Amino acid sequence: MRPTLLSITAIACALPAYAGCLWMPAKGNSAPAGGGVQPTTNAAEETEESGGLAPTGGGESGAPQLDSLTLHSDCATTVKLFVGQKPKFGSGTSTSISSNATQSFSLQPGKSIWIVSATDEGVAEYVGQAGAHRMKIPSSCKEFVAD
């Protein structure tokens, strides 16, 4: 039996930093059966050229920032709210806010909180934006205004 040498690629793929690494044949080996996609470069060669291991993680997460909303009600009665895109017909969460109460909500940008009528029809909409915001429901009970 002839000894087999592992390529640097095989060793690099075994490292924890390369957990998602695919097996790549060393240069000069034939393409995998079935016409699979061949990489244009060897991952180990890229690592050697860059002077070290490739970074794992860090950088921009790309996750949207949340809207940290503080909502106060000056309405004399409890106000029905709907957190979601379409009151009455959409999926979301029904809740309420009592008179002279303050509640906090975390919303993804673009998501909505609605003031809804007794029949769950949308009366007023607040659309989330990244950052911290203070809003109130005035005594009219039918709108959101900046606090």
Q: Output the tens digit of pLDDT for each of the chain's 147 residues.
A: 554 444 343 444 444 444 444 444 444 444 444 444 433 444 444 334 433 333 334 445 566 689 999 999 999 999 999 999 989 888 899 999 999 999 999 999 999 999 999 999 999 999 999 999 999 999 999 999 998
Rounded Cα–Cα distance for residues 124 and 15 (Å): 55
Tokens of 71: 């909502």
Same-domain check for residues 81 and 29: no
- Clarify whether residues 37 and 94 are in a common domain: no
- Domain CATH for 136: 2.60.40
Whether residues 41 and 109 fall in one domain: no
Whether residues 28 and 98 fall in one domain: no
Please tell me whether the overall predicted TM-score, pTM, comes out greater than 0.85 for this model.
Answer: no
Segments forming the whole domain that contains residue 122: 67-146
Helix (H, G, I), strand (E, B) or coil at 59: coil
CB-count exposure of residue 81 (10 Å: 0-12, 13-18, 19+) = buried
Number of domains in the chain: 2
Do 19 and 85 share a structural domain?
no
Instruction: Tell me if 60 is assigned to some domain.
Output: no
- DSSP annotation of 18: G
Between the two ends of the chain, the Cα-to-Cα distance in Å is 80
